[in-house]
Amino acid sequence: MTGFEMGPTLAWYERAGVSLPCISKQPLPFPIENTQCIQLDANVLGGLFDLFPASARKRSILRKVVGQPTTWFRHDSLDGQITTTTKVDDALTPTSFVPSYCDYSPWRELKRPTADVWLYKMPQTVPEHQRTIVLAEGFLHEIGHTLAQPALYVDDYALRLGSSGRVVNGLEFVIEFANLAEKHPPISHYASEYRWQNKFEGHPRHDPKT
């Protein structure tokens, strides 16, 4: 259940006094839909996006940011099939809510690498400073997907490494990175999801692209 439950994270934020640091506000160069469901200022989103290097921002396949209503993981998600609900009474727990998601369906529809980032409205029971940091983390996480996904799923996708100018195949480079990562413990519970005894390949659901 730990992958669905935000309660311990929120409690840690409260104990540690964690809050979002000052972000230089910038216009977000992408459309935003359903702003009434997004609890971060558009210029904060732009500032967060601007934290990535310019070369990375150019590679992002982000099309738009879409606000979504408050959504929880349903109580039957533990059965192996993840399902969601907009009714807290059907939720796994009141704090098992969904913060963000990267939607690749536009890629299939448009036949070119495209993704939308969904940001979910968080329950009003969560204090504003906690909502802000959870949504900022979620947004940065999903932007990371819009950078990495083409390297994984576009044939012969090339990356030029800024430090050396070396040009590498995207998927081969990610696998090289994974091999290096196996020499260290996962940096978080989330990062450990697809490892078995610290190895990616030994996991029952192993997929090099995952």
Last residue of one domain, picked from the residues 108, 125, 154: 154
Co-location of 177 and 113 in the same domain: no
Within-domain flag for 189? yes
Within-domain flag for 49? yes
pLDDT digits (tens, 9 = 90+) for 50-88: 999 998 999 999 999 999 999 999 988 865 678 999 999
The residues, ordered by sequence, that sit 6+ positions from 168 with a Cβ below 8 Å of its Cβ are 158, 159, 161, 176
pLDDT (average), residues 155-159: 93
DSSP 118: E
Average pLDDT, the chain: 91
Look at the block and give the residue holding tokens 């009141």.
Answer: 94
Co-location of 161 and 149 in the same domain: no
Within-domain flag for 1? no
CA-to-CA separations, 66 to 38, 102, 172, 180, in angstroms, rounded: 8, 10, 32, 35
Per-residue pLDDT at 189: 73
pLDDT (average), residues 94-118: 96
Co-location of 25 and 123 in the same domain: yes
Co-location of 138 and 192 in the same domain: no
Per-residue pLDDT at 72: 96
40 has pLDDT over 90: yes
Q: How many domains does the chain have?
A: 2
Last residue of one domain, picked from the residues 137, 154, 171: 154
Co-location of 120 and 186 in the same domain: no
Last residue of one domain, picked from the residues 154, 169, 187: 154
Per-residue pLDDT at 88: 95
Per-residue pLDDT at 143: 98
How does residue 203 score in pLDDT terms, banded at 50, 70 and 90? low
More confident residue, 192 or 166: 166
**CA–CA dist 142, 83 (Å, integer):** 19
Co-location of 31 and 77 in the same domain: yes
184 has pLDDT over 90: yes
Query: Which range scores top for mean pLDDT: 4-18, 74-88, 133-147, 182-196?
Result: 133-147
Residue 138: give the domain boundaries: 7-154
Per-residue pLDDT at 79: 59
186 has pLDDT over 80: yes
